[in-house]
A and B are shown apart, each in its own frame.
Chain A
């Protein structure tokens, strides 16, 4: 049964990795705007060079 200890430790490691990835993604702005990025392919040029959230409404 000692394999269980290893598996639990591995599981915790993967969990930590997942949590870190999630927090990183949110901080990097991946979740700030879930609609606009999908429509970006329809725009002629890339988005205006305004920082996220600071452009005109």
Chain B
């Protein structure tokens, strides 16, 4: 598994002038490491920005293409810093996870075996006075034989990490840990050979066990976050079998597929790109596809003939030969994945604050350990050594720097399960604090297409033929109305001499008589003289149909509300939020929707500028605004709000300004997303409070010599384990 340039998740949005890559880094453990990588990459020419996310172990780099810097140089810089870059795409990353997991599990298992055994033998030395010297020596030697391999096998990551930090002249979290391990182990070995004095082998074993356990838990959370939020990304095969013109196969990287290429999709495999069935298959071939990754729909979809098979769906039927319709980078899936990658590689504000605190922390611990040593040597030299060990071990900057990322990763996992994707790292924090929701109507609260809502008939025609007449008149129109009416066309009703009157409606001849469809005043006039009927008034969204006998029908066309709209609005209000509709639609349609949803404040005929002004005004009043729109027309509005959510799919989402994406148009997930965000913020606060409180309380106790080294090891590991488990609580629960 070499990190070749071809297998990395990289892309460029402007033909190579600016390039972007995201990759995983192995061996990154602390804020110090993250800063080291950032510095190393930033030192390269043409690099515009570098973001290193500690919790997800990702590095994201933007650079100007066509210069001296390429992906190879960036990867080399990371490697020089002592870390191994690992490509993110496809199998390489999952193989990487598996290897990492097995290695961590072996370390934990080995340490637990060694710890228990060492404890059994060395317990003989505790408080038993009548043990004879030769037996005591036997126990010490046995302890040494057991714990030494544990130190150099299970403890290897800390020793190696500390060595890397020291040689790169930075203070990472591994430094105090490795120092403590060696400080406890070396004198114990010396004392074993001298045959007198204390040995700390059991403490060393226990310390390593708890450390490995804590790190294993942390790794599980990270992997779990990756596996669910990015089941998408990772499920895309890295390689596909492409068919040459002569029918022979060649294995190529999925990124090399171009539109028109024929390739194989074995059963059970993920289709790499948007594609159709190959023409040489039998014409009655039906492809069975599981599209749940894309749509959440779990029953298999059937695709025939030239119907499009979406990249990212799983072939659950027979093996297929497919023709690629687009390159990998142009598919919906790829755009979504890029957004996720960007969000996961950004470091949110809260995490940056904690990172800064944690890096100062290591220096402070080392200073404090030196002070403790100096103090105790004057006071009681015999107790200096355990006290220094305890200070080094008991403090835990990792809990501090894990507090926020662990909670955020867990929140992202749960949100992804709801179908809400995080596109900006700070989104969760902002979402938790909102108090006002501004909803767009069309495409958000309502379905995107129009439909006939109501037909009122005034005699002469039945409903079906009235609609068919209207459809015939609108046949050539591009008005949204026309699309809604098209479903009601009827054979035999054809309009001729169609004429459009700007701003009024259409006129045409059907069966020799003139018909009009449009505004009331204008339509009425096509009636033969003297035929004026007293009719109820409609509103400006109503279209009127008139023939020789005057008005015959009033047709209300609009977009129906989404099924979950009412429940969503109620739930949002139950969360204590103000809900406002800001729509570009006409007064009546908006008022109607507002009434149906029980919303008091509804603004109609909003231009984008007006919506932005509304959002700014609300924010000036001290409100925190959450804007929800379709993501296409609302870009600037979404950007103006504190946090925003876009509905919809398609490649446009990659460029949209929204902080969150609703992937399945599931409006009703919004309140749950807000609840999740609030819970995550609470967990973050708990975590930060807990880790700060723990460190503040533990350090003085350790410095005063009140904490035994083994107890310090336990406390340190429990504090980071507590943070990780507290966050994990969030990922496991379904709201």
Contacts and interface: CB of A to CB of B under 8 A. Distances in A.
Query: How big is the B interface, by class?
Result: 20 to 34
A22 B94 contact: no
Interface residues of A, number: 24
Contact of B268 (A8, A11, A26, A55): A55
A32 B102 contact: yes
B370 interface: no
B146 interface: yes
Interface string A18-42: 1100110011010110000000000
A21 B727 CA distance: 33
B686 interface: no
A27 B268 contact: no
A8 B142 contact: yes
Given A5-B138, A27-B106, A57-B235, A22 B113 contact: yes
Contacts of A4: 135, 138
Interface string B555-587: 000000000000000000000000000000000
B342 to A, nearest CB: 21
Given A15-B113, A31-B102, A56 B270 contact: yes
Interface string B63-106: 00000000000000000000000000001001101100110011
B227 A26 contact: no
Contacts of B138: 4-5, 8
Contacts of A55: 268
B269 interface: yes
Contacts of A15: 113-114, 117, 146
A27 B269 contact: no
Interface in B105-123: 105-106, 109-110, 113-114, 117, 121
B112 to A, nearest CB: 9
B663 interface: no
A26 B102 contact: yes
B145 interface: yes
A16 B187 CA distance: 25
11 contacts: A8-B121, A8-B142, A12-B142, A15-B113, A26-B102, A26-B105, A31-B102, A32-B101, A55-B268, A56-B270, A57-B234
Given A54-B94, A55-B268, 5 more contacts: A8-B121, A11-B117, A26-B106, A31-B102, A53-B97
Interface of B: 91, 94-95, 97-98, 101-102, 105-106, 109-110, 113-114, 117, 121, 132, 134-135, 138, 142, 145-146, 227, 231, 234-235, 268-270, 293, 314
